[in-house]
A and B are shown apart, each in its own frame.
Chain A
Amino acid sequence: MSTVAQVFKETARRMTHDLRHRSWIQNALGKYYVGRDEKKARFQNWQEARQAAAEIKWDAVNHLDKYLEQFVSKIEARGTKVFWASTGQQACDYIVGVAKKHRVRSIVKSKAMTGEEIHLAQALEKSGVEVVETDLGEYIVQLREEAPYHIVFPAMHLTRHEISDLFNKKLGSAPTDSPEELTMIARRTLRKKYCAADMGISGANFAIAETGMISLTTNEGNGRLSTSLPRIHVALIGIEKVLPTLDDLALFLPMLATAGAAQAVSCYNTFIAGPRQEREPDGPDEFHVVLLDNGRTRLLADAEQRDTLHCIRCGGCLNVCPIYKNIGGHSYATTYMGPIGSVLTPHMRGLTEWKHLSFASSLCGACTEACPVKIDLHHHLLQNRRNAIRCKSPWWEKLIFQGFVTLMNHPLLYRLGVKLGWFGQKFHGLVKGTKLDPVYAWTQSRELPPLARNSFKDYWRRKQS
C-alpha cells in the first residue's frame, strides 16, 4: 500500500470518529439542503435544465479546439495577452515572470481552484511577492496556513471562536463572537491590500468563445475589486472552461448558484473582455489570460470519462456525499475533494498512487444525481477501480474471488458454509475485536448481527412440505 493511501486511511478514520466535526458538517450542510431545494423548485424543470447544460458542455468539450481558438482570437483582439501552459510549472513561471517584469510587490488573489492546483501562491511568495487571498474563507485558511476544506466554502470546518482566536493572534483584533464583526475585521484589513496591490489574480468560471470574455462569479465582491483596482490582472483558467455563447450563461449562472451555494444567482457575475479600453476611466492596463492544460488533455483522451471536464466546480457533489460528510475535506489531501476530486485526482496525479480514492465511495450515486451538468461520477469511480485492477491485481484478491465463484457455483458447499458460519460464530467472542478476528474491519466499530441457525431456504422447504 502506498503511503498516500495509508495517510488517507488514517486521517479518514480519525475524522470519522470525531463526533464534533460530524455534527458541525451536518449542521452547516443542513441549511444548504433546504435552500438548494427551494431554489431548484423555482426552475420550471430542473431535470431538463440539467440535460440542456450537459449537452452544451458536451458540445463545448467535444469541440474544444475550435472554441478555444475562437475565445483566444476574440479576447486577444481587445488587447489581452494569452499564454498557453501545458504544465502547472509553466503557468507559475509565466505569472512570476509578469510580476517580476512589472516590479510587483503585492498581489490580491480572488478565489481560484486552478491556483490551488498548481500552487501558484507558493511560487509567487518564493519569488518575494506578497500574495493575499481575498475570499473571506480562503483568507482564513491562508492565515491558518492550511488547504481549503471545500471547493466553495473553504473555511466551513471552523467555528466563529476559532476564527476570532486566529484574527486575534494574526491581526491583533479584539476577540468577538459575532460573525458580522469578524467579517468587518477582514473587510478593513483587505481594503488596504486592494488599494495597494499591483496585481490581481483570478480564476474564471466560464470562458465565452463567442465574445471572448471570462465570466467570474463571487458573492463578496472580491472578484470585482481584484480585477478593477490593480494595474495588472492575470486570470488562470483551465482549458475546459469554455462555453460556446454568451447566452449560455442565462442557464449556467443560475444553475451554478443553485447547486453550489443554494442561491438563485450569485451576487456578482462579472464578464471581463479585456484590459481597460480607450475612454474607460479605470481598470487594469494589462490583462493576461493563462490557459492551463496540466493533465486535462489526458482526461480528454479518455472518451469514457471525458464528461468529467464538464465540471463547473459548484461543489454540489461534495455536499451530498456520505464519504465527504464523514471524513471531511482535508482527509483527501487533494486540490479537488469529494466525488469529483476522487474521479479527477487519479487522472491528474497518477492512478497507482491515488486509486484508493476510487474505493472511498459507497457508489450510492448521490453525487451523480446532484451534478448540475450530469457528470456520471459514481460510474467513473467504478471505471477507475476497474482500471486500477487492470494495472495490477493483487494475488490474494484473485484467490478470494476464485473461492467466491466456487462457493456460489456449488449449492452444497454454500449450505455447508452457512452452517459452519453459524457454528463458528459461537466462538467469535474469543477473538472479537482483536487482530485475530477475521472480520475485524467490521467489528472494530460495529456489532456483527447473529447468523440464524436455519437459513431461509430450510424454513421455506419445511413450510412447503
Chain B
Amino acid sequence: MSEREQILGRIREALRVAAPKPGLLSGPGQRVPPHEKRPTDFRPWLPVVGDSFEERAALFAKNSAELKTDFQLVANRDELQTKLLALAHAEGWKKIATHAGELTNYAFAALGLPVVQTGGRYKLDELESSDAGITECDALVAQTGSVVVTTRSAGGRALSVLPPHHVVLARRDQLLRDLPAAFTALKQRYGSSYPSMMCLITGPSRTGDIERILVLGAHGPKKLTIFCM
C-alpha cells in the first residue's frame, strides 16, 4: 500500500469517532453557540470599511501611513509623469525594471531610463541591480492597505520583491473594499487557471526580529510607493 493510502487510511480510521464542535468548552464570556452551517461571510466581524470611493481611499491612505507605504492619488497621466520624475530624481535612479502593461509602458517612456523588462526571461543580476521595480497590480485593498499582485499582472515573481523600491501603478477602479472582495476578484479573474503565484503585499518589507524594533527592508523592498489614478 502506498504511503498516501496509509496516511489517508489512518485519517479515516481516526475520524470514525466524532469530535465535539468548538466553542462549547472555552471559559466564561467566551461561549458562542456554534453556527448551524460553517460561516462563509466574514464581513460582520472584520474591520469596517465605508462604501464610497472617498471612504475607501481615506482608509487606504490611513493604513498606508501606518505601514509606511507612500500612497498618492494622481489625477491624470501628466501628474503621474511629474511625480515619477520627481521620485527618480530624488532617489537618483539609474536603471529601472518593469513589465509590459498599459500604465507601465507609459511610465517607462516618461522616465526615459535604461530598463530591464521581465516579460520574458531576464538576467537575475540585471534585475537585482535595478533601482526600482515598477509594476501594475490586480487590486488595492482599503481594509488592510494591501496591494494584490500576481505573476500575470506584475511581471513575474521577482520584479515586485527584488529591487529596493517597489512602485505600483493602479487605477481608481482597482481600489476594492476589503479582503473578501479581493478574493472574489481573484476568483473571477483567474478562476479557470490561476497564476502560479499571487501575493497580498502590505507595506514595504519589514522585520522586528532584533529587540522587536521595526526595521524596513529586511529582504524585500525598503520602499513601497503606490500611485492610484
Contact = CB atoms under 8 A, between A and B. Distances in A.
Given A58-B21, A65-B12, A300-B11, A268 B194 contact: no
Interface in A256-308: 261, 264-277, 280-283, 287, 291, 293, 297, 300-301, 303-304, 306-307
Interface stretch (B34-42, B70-78, B80-88, B107-115): B34-42
B26 A369 contact: yes
Contact of A179 (B13, B35, B186, B213): B213
A320 B23 CA distance: 20
Secondary structure at the A interface, as helix, strand, loop or mixed, is: helix
Interface string A207-234: 0000101000001111011011100000
A300 B15 contact: yes
A174 interface: no
B6 interface: yes
B155 interface: yes
A153 B209 contact: yes
A458 interface: no
Contacts of A61: 19
B197 A247 contact: no
A267 B201 contact: yes
Nearest to B121: A281
Nearest to A306: B19
Interface string A124-138: 000000000011110
A280 B196 contact: yes
A347 interface: no
B197 A228 contact: yes
B200 interface: yes
Contacts of B178: 250
Contact of B38 (A59, A220, A293): A59
Interface residues of A, number: 114
B92 interface: no
Interface stretch (A78-86, A352-360, A437-445): A78-86
Given A250-B42, A280-B195, A281-B119, A224 B161 contact: yes
Interface string A382-417: 000000000000000000000000000000000000
A159 interface: yes
Secondary structure at the B interface, as helix, strand, loop or mixed, is: loop
A157 to B, nearest CB: 11
Contacts of A45: 44-45
A239 interface: yes
Interface string B159-188: 001100000000000000011101110110
Interface in B197-229: 197-213, 215, 217-221
A205 interface: no
B220 A62 contact: no
A158 B211 CA distance: 7
Contacts of B119: 281
8 contacts: A65-B12, A153-B208, A224-B157, A264-B144, A273-B196, A283-B157, A297-B10, A369-B26
Given A225-B162, A297-B11, 10 more contacts: A65-B8, A65-B15, A85-B3, A86-B6, A137-B207, A211-B194, A220-B206, A228-B158, A261-B208, A277-B151
Closest 5 CB pairs of A and B: A221-B220, A220-B218, A54-B22, A228-B157, A301-B14
